[in-house]
Amino acid sequence: MERIDFVTKVKQQFDELPGRIRVAASYVLDHPEDVALLSMREQARRAGVPPATMTRFAQHMGLPGYDEVRAIHAAALREAPVAYGGRAENLVRRHREVGNAGVATEMLERLAVHLSEVATPSRVERLAEAARDMVAARRIYCLGHRSSFPVAFQFNYLLSFFDSRSILLDATGGVGHPNMLDAAPGDVLLVICYRPAARHVIEATAFARRQGVRVIAITDSEANAISRLAHLTLLTPCQSPSFFDTVTPAFAVCETLVALIAGLHPGDVAASVARSEAKLWELGVWWGEEEALPAFAAPERVRPDPAQASTAVHPSADAVVHADEG
C-alpha cells in the first residue's frame, strides 16, 4: 500500500476510531517522518498512548501490525523530494552524465507520467466532484502563492470569460485578502499549495474554513497541511528532475476544471465567451494579425571619428586659452 492510499484510508475512518486509537491516528498523520524513523515505543510515548494502541491502530487499518505502517512511511520518505540545493546538485550531475538532450527527455517524460496519473479514473471523479461544487457555489475564491499563483490566475482568467463569480485572492502590498471578508457558507475556495506551504496560504485557508467555506485543494499529498484543511483534495504530483517543483500538472487540472464547469454551467456559456472576447478586442488587448508590425530594427550605430574623439577627450592648449579668455 502506498502512503497516499494509507493516509486517505485513515482520514476516511478517522471520525469512527475509538478514543486512544484516534490519538494514535492523529500522531501518524501529523508526524510522518517520525513514523518512518522512530521505534513504535518512542512514537507511542510521544503520542501519549500505550504501545499496544499503535498496534491496534494498524489493525484497524487492515494491516497485520505497526511494522507495516512504519514500512509504508519509510518507503515514502525515501521517495520524498530533496531540498532545492541538493536537487540543483543532482541536476548539474545529470547534465554531465546525460547531456542537455538527456535532461530535456527526462523532464518531458516525467511530465507525461504526471499527467497520466492525474487522468486515472479515481482522480477524474474527484475533478468532476470539484466542478459540481463550483457550479453550485455562490462565489469561487482562487488562492495560490509564489509558483502556485500563476495557476490560480489562469483558473480565474479562463473562468471569467463566462462566469463572474470567480475572485482571485492576491496579497500584494501586504493588505491580506480583503475580498474574503464576505466569505460565507455556499462559497468555495480553490487553493493551490505545495510543500513547503506559504504561511499566509495556510492561514487564509483556515480562515475560510471558519467562515463555512468549502475548500478544494490542489496539492501533492493527502497528509500535508493544506490537504488536512480541505474538504476535497485533488492530488497533483509536482516532482521534477530539475531543482524546482513543476506546476504543469496543476495547470492541467485547473484548465480541466474550467472545461468541466463550462459543460455543467446553467448559463449560455458560448454567448458569454463570445461577448468577453469581443470586449477584449474592443479594448485593444490583443494584437491584430492585419496590423503592421511596430519598428523593430535596431538603429545603425555610427562609429565615432577617432580624431574627434581624441580632441574631445584632450582639448588643445589653444582651446583652453580661448576658453579662459572667454
Confidence at residue 320, expressed as pLDDT on a 0 to 100 scale: 43
Confidence at residue 260, expressed as pLDDT on a 0 to 100 scale: 98
Q: What is the pTM of this model?
A: 0.65
Q: How far apart are CA 230 and CA 228, in angstroms?
A: 6
> All 3 cell numbers of residue 133?
461544487
Delimit the domains of the chain by residue range: 3-78, 116-282
Which parts of the chain sit beneath pLDDT 70?
77-96, 98, 171-176, 243, 306-326
Query: Going by C-beta distance under 8 Å and a sequence separation of 6 or more, which residues neighbour residue 91?
Result: 103, 241, 242, 243
- In the chain, % helix, strand, coil (3-state, to 5) comes to 60, 5, 30
> All 3 cell numbers of residue 244?
524546482
Q: How far apart are CA 178 and CA 297, in angstroms?
A: 46
Indicate the CATH number for domain 3-78. 1.10.10.10
> All 3 cell numbers of residue 258?
474550467
Question: pLDDT by residue (tens digit) across 145-203?
Answer: 988 999 999 999 999 999 999 999 986 655 467 888 999 999 999 999 988 888 999 99
Q: How far apart are CA 268 and CA 153, in angstroms?
A: 23
Q: How far apart are CA 86 and CA 99, in angstroms?
A: 19
- Pair type for strands 214-219 and 188-192: parallel
Residue closest to 234 by CA, chosen among 99, 81, 125, 79: 125
Confidence at residue 68, expressed as pLDDT on a 0 to 100 scale: 92
What angle do helix axes 248-264 and 149-159 make, rounded to 10 degrees?
20
Confidence at residue 319, expressed as pLDDT on a 0 to 100 scale: 47
Q: How far apart are CA 67 and CA 134, in angstroms?
A: 41
Judging by beta carbons within 10 Å of its beta carbon (0-12, 13-18, 19+), is residue 243 exposed, middle or buried?
Answer: middle
Confidence at residue 28, expressed as pLDDT on a 0 to 100 scale: 92
Confidence at residue 310, expressed as pLDDT on a 0 to 100 scale: 58
Beta bridge partners of 219: 235
Confidence at residue 322, expressed as pLDDT on a 0 to 100 scale: 45
What is the CATH topology of the domain spanning 116-282? Rossmann fold (3.40.50)
Give the Cα-Cα-Cα angle 98, 100, 104 (nearest 5 degrees): 95
End-to-end alpha-carbon separation of the chain, Å? 94
Confidence at residue 161, expressed as pLDDT on a 0 to 100 scale: 96
Burial 266-289 (b: 16+ CB within 10 A, else e): eeebeebeeeeeeeeeeeeeeeee
